[in-house]
Structure 1
Amino acid sequence: MTIRRLKPNDASACRALRLLGLRQSPASFGRSHREEASRPLSFFEERLAPTGPAATFGAFAGGELVGMITLLRAPGLKENHKASIVGLYVHPEHRRQGVARRLVARALRAASGLDGVRQLRVAVVEENAPALALYEEAGFSIYGREPEALHHRGRFLDELLLARLASTPRRG
């Protein structure tokens, strides 16, 4: 298993895995499959450009992209000490093998290399117990709840808001 930062030439694989995640776990993401499927490949190429505010990391098994995570630094002078982890997804055939844990660890290492970043945040749909456990193991703590954060298939889903200081050690 290799984990590395994705580049614009990974856009096709990134798009395919993103669409799979939105199809298989639609309640876990803020975007819909329809929204993302309508975006051209150039959108994903731009998102993976090394000069943007986000860094997306991919997990590769046998040369195939099987998982990814994005670290997004907050814009603006008053909030750029914060970064968010978004879009974590691992292909179902590669779950329960530590891929998500390794992706989170890679994002945390990247955040520690960003000058001035002191706080990391993530939002997890309340019903997603495995994701919540993963982030708590990585040192995140719940600081709030956003009621009705997402609307999916006629029902509202609450999100738990988690944060950790960039210097927080892993639990366990």
Structure 2
Amino acid sequence: MQAADLADYKALRDAMLLRHEDAFTSDAATEATRPAASYQPRLHASVGGSALFTLVAWQGGRMVAALTCEREPRQKVRHVAHLVGMMVADASQGQGLGRRLLAQALSLLRSEPELELVTLSVSAGNVAALRLYEGAGFTRYGLLPRAIRLPDGRYIDKALMVCPLRKP
């Protein structure tokens, strides 16, 4: 993703947060007030961000999917990366975009010699996402109960997952 894509990224993110409140830790109302430029940290350092990368997919000139990878800045945990903000627009789901973004992300991460692990969290009830991540080599190492509290008082647990990038 490039700086010129931030408005499209925000539009996709806002739509996904609004339609899928149980899938994201951020809430739609708060995020809707953020300017597109506030997502600059999700860009690669070479274009003014702090993330390792944000991969995006386009269809018909519209951004329809995104996945960000962040790296731990602290020396003792610089071997760990984190996938955040995986989203595929509703109309584009079921076409393999998420699987392709995830495969590309893992390939890029494996090309970084210092990285050994990548983690993510996902709503524990999101069976399709859990299958996607498990199929890519992630395993569940924990569960954070009541990780998200929705406005209606319901709670959502988060499955904590890890994927080794190379053999120890």
**TM-score, normalised on structure 1?**
0.89
- Displacement after TM superposition at 1:143 (Å): 0.6
Q: What SS does the aligned partner of 1:30 have?
A: coil
After superposition, the CA RMSD in angstroms is: 1.4
What is the CA–CA distance in structure 1 between the aligned matches of 2:141 and 2:36, rounded to whole Å?
36
Q: What SS does the aligned partner of 1:34 have?
A: helix
- Displacement after TM superposition at 1:152 (Å): 1.1
What is the CA–CA distance in structure 1 between the aligned matches of 2:94 and 2:40, rounded to whole Å?
29
Counting only pairs closer than 5 Å after superposition, residues 63-78 of structure 1 correspond to structure 2 as: 63-78=61-76
Tell me, yes or no, if structure 1 residue 53 matches structure 2 residue 86.
no
| Gap runs ≥5 in structure 2 | none
| Gap runs ≥5 in structure 1 | 1-5
Look up the match of 1:3: none
**TM-score, normalised on structure 2?**
0.91
1:67–1:99 Cα contact (<8 Å) kept: yes
Which of 6, 11, 14 is 2:9 aligned to? 14
Which of 8, 18, 22 is 1:27 aligned to? 22
What is the CA–CA distance in structure 1 between the aligned matches of 2:157 and 2:41, rounded to whole Å?
31
Q: Percent identity?
A: 33
- Displacement after TM superposition at 1:122 (Å): 0.9
- Displacement after TM superposition at 1:47 (Å): 3.1
What is the CA–CA distance in structure 1 between the aligned matches of 2:70 and 2:3, rounded to whole Å?
17
